[in-house]
Chains A and B, each alone.
Chain A
Amino acid sequence: MAPLTSDSAGEDAALAEADGEMSDSGGRRRRLVHLTTIIVVATGVLLTVVLGVAVVTARDNNEERLLRQRTRETAAVLTAALPGIQTPLASSVEVVEESAGADQQAFLRLLTPLVEAGQPYVSASLWRTDSEGLQPLLVIGDAPMLASRPPAEIQAFLERSTAATGLAVIGLLEGDNPRLGYAFASTREASEFVAYAEATLPANRTSVVPSNSAFAGLHFAVYLGDHEDPTQLLTASTPDLPLSGALASERVAFGDTSLLLVMTPDGALGGALLKMLPWLVVAFGLVTTFGSATLIEWLLRRRDDAVRLSEENARLYANQRSVAQTLQHSLLPDRVPDVAGLELAFRYLPGVGGVDIGGDWYDVIPLDDDRLMFVVGDVSGRGLHAGTVMASLRYSIRAFASQGDMPATVLAKLTRLLDVAHDRHFATVLCVVVDIAGRTITVANAGHPNPIMILGDAIHPVETKVGVPIGVTRDATYETVTEAIPPQATLLAFTDGLFERRGESVDDGLERLRESARSTTGSLDELLTRIVDAQMHGSSDDDTAILGLRWQQ
């Protein structure tokens, strides 16, 4: 017996393939994070770091620039303040010098207001050079600490002040409360007088900067001389010395020496926002990075789900197609009975593309030793309903045949079982009784394609009386035709899928059939294979059932 079709093996292969894809997708599903997401995170973090560094650099540059600017401003303020403590000394000594020492009251008048609490000086004194050296003439306020120094040192300093064209600074005089001493001599040639004053340093040498001052937000330290010598510290805004961190310094001329101003920012000069900007940039960058990474990961997983779903659908589709075909096969005989004297073969070919069960069928029913009935039918449409209609028609015919009904009666009874208006299906049926010994066939036809007879190179249609299809009218009647079959002839009955094609005439299909059926050598099974191969080349979208019959030689 011929195999039913060779397609079931193909279906199994398709199923196995679909399963293989499933396990592949399972592998993808187990992936923790997608590579794309990792790349996005890495890129985002890198960009964030680069941007953060850039902002930090820009901020630091800005801070440095601001610090230098503020330090220069402070130095300018300091420079502007210095004449305030020099001028009274310079003025008074000029007046005294002018009067050749007569007007010492001028010294008192000018300096007394400056030697009080809250004023620059704690002590002011007027000195005169004579043959015995420098002697104090007048003292305002406290006794000068200078006076307690060794005479040689006093002499050296006052000589330095007369030699200097401006202010001479003695430096810090150590004591319980260190003082800064400075002196002024007249700019005249051979000047005799020297005005000398001492100022105290702020308590602990620390100045408190008011928060509304122009110097708020800065720490500063002022040293006498040109380097940060703690012993030469005049004043600072903080006891925490030397200053550390970002520093800027300026030198300010101060008589015959100089002051060193060192400053550092206390907090951010550019404001709190600028200080926090790098962190804001980094935080924003990281939030954006991880936000987009999360979104991308989510989208990728959705895509994976969609891919998995489509793979599963493909598998289910293959499965369903397989189920439909399995069901169809179960409704059709998988073998025809051995009948002495006859060769029988059949093919059933599912149409391509559909998952639905088709409505084509064939059947072979032995009636007695001399006769058998064969049937080829086609229920309109597709799907489970068409399949069940097909099954019920097939088994009804078997029942009628077993009651001894002949083809015309079988079809007339059959048509009452189906109503196209109600069932939405009708059926075409060819019902044939074969008289084996008599070599005749008796055919009744309910709207079905006529069978053909292949004899040598010729193909003859077997003309039948075509009645209306099954299920169209309840009272349809059918007529039979009896035909003698020549010894060499092969009889083929089939459904319209065999050579019906869209866009092709029936004659083209018949011509193809004629070509493929030309050689009658070989078995009937081989002939059917040849015909099927030729007809199915460029597959049909309709199902096809073929039954072949010939008398054994």
Chain B
Amino acid sequence: MAAIDDESFVNATAEVHFGDEGSVVIRVTGEVDIATADIIRQAVAVATEPRPARLVFDLLAVDFIDSSGLAVLLEAAKTADSVRIDPASNIVRRVIEATGLSEMFGMGI
């Protein structure tokens, strides 16, 4: 497990869990915005070297996500064979749905 923690004033964390059979889970907490996007981006870099078969974002503990945060998830989507968000907080779910990305992140309506 690798962890990339927040700096004291940055309100987000990202943990990378390597699972069986090429699946990697990135667990994110806090606010994912322009200030914290790089934390997630670093976690994704750790998780996708080498390219995993399945990348899963655990966003249950995410309180806020903006377009910069969404951009990181979309960047990550290109680095794995399949990408899912599971589970997701209501806020994340609403943003994903509103931007037409539910299908891309395996979040059936």
Contact = CB atoms under 8 A, between A and B. Distances in A.
Interface of A: 359, 378-382, 420-421, 424-426, 428, 445-449, 466-469, 471-473, 496, 500, 502-503, 506, 542
Contacts of B103: 468
B100 A426 contact: no
Interface string B38-51: 00000000000000
B53 interface: no
B71 A381 contact: yes
A466 B70 contact: no
B10 interface: no
A382 B34 CA distance: 8
Given A420-B74, A469-B99, A378 B67 contact: yes
Given A420-B78, A466-B98, 7 more contacts: A421-B77, A425-B71, A426-B71, A466-B99, A468-B103, A469-B70, A542-B66
B75 A469 contact: no
Nearest to B41: A424
17 contacts: A380-B67, A381-B68, A382-B68, A420-B71, A421-B74, A421-B75, A421-B77, A426-B74, A428-B67, A447-B98, A447-B99, A449-B98, A466-B98, A468-B103, A468-B104, A469-B100, A472-B74
A432 B71 CA distance: 24
Contacts of A446: 100
Nearest to A354: B34
A502 B64 contact: yes
Contact of B100 (A421, A468, A502, A503): A468
Nearest to A427: B67
Nearest to A450: B98
B31 interface: yes
Contacts of A447: 98-101
Contacts of B64: 502-503
Contacts of B63: 502-503
Nearest to A380: B67
Given A468-B100, A469-B100, A381 B34 contact: yes
A446 B94 CA distance: 16
B75 to A, nearest CB: 5
A447 B37 CA distance: 20
Nearest to B99: A447
Nearest to B69: A380
Nearest to B90: A505
A378 B98 CA distance: 14
A381 B99 CA distance: 15
B67 A472 contact: no
Q: Which 8 A-B pairs have the closest CB atoms?
A: A380-B67, A447-B99, A466-B100, A421-B78, A420-B74, A380-B71, A381-B68, A447-B100
B73 to A, nearest CB: 9
Nearest to A360: B67
B35 to A, nearest CB: 10
Contacts of A425: 71
Interface string B77-109: 111000000000000001001111101100000
A361 to B, nearest CB: 13
Which of B34, B67, B99, B103 has the most CB atoms of chain A within a 10 A radius of its CB? B67
B98 to A, nearest CB: 6
Given A380-B70, A381-B34, A381-B67, A420 B101 contact: no
A502 B104 contact: no
A467 B100 contact: yes
Contact of A502 (B31, B68, B98): B31
A380 B100 contact: no
Contacts of A421: 74-75, 77-79
Interface string B10-21: 000000000000
B68 A380 contact: yes
A418 to B, nearest CB: 11
B34 A426 contact: no
B67 A468 contact: no
A417 B78 CA distance: 16
A424 B75 contact: yes
A421 B83 CA distance: 14
A421 B104 CA distance: 14
Contacts of B78: 420-421
Contacts of B67: 359, 378-381, 426, 428, 496
A446 B70 CA distance: 14
A469 B71 CA distance: 10
Given A381-B68, A426-B70, A420 B100 contact: no
A380 B66 CA distance: 8
Given A420-B71, A426-B70, A472 B104 contact: yes
Contacts of B98: 447, 449, 466
Contacts of A449: 98
Contacts of B66: 380, 500, 542
A428 B79 CA distance: 22
B106 to A, nearest CB: 14
Contacts of A448: 99
Contact of A472 (B68, B94, B101): B101
Nearest to A501: B64
B101 A469 contact: yes
Contact of A420 (B37, B75, B97): B75
Nearest to A464: B100
Contact of B94 (A379, A382, A471, A506): A506
B100 A445 contact: yes
A503 B31 CA distance: 10
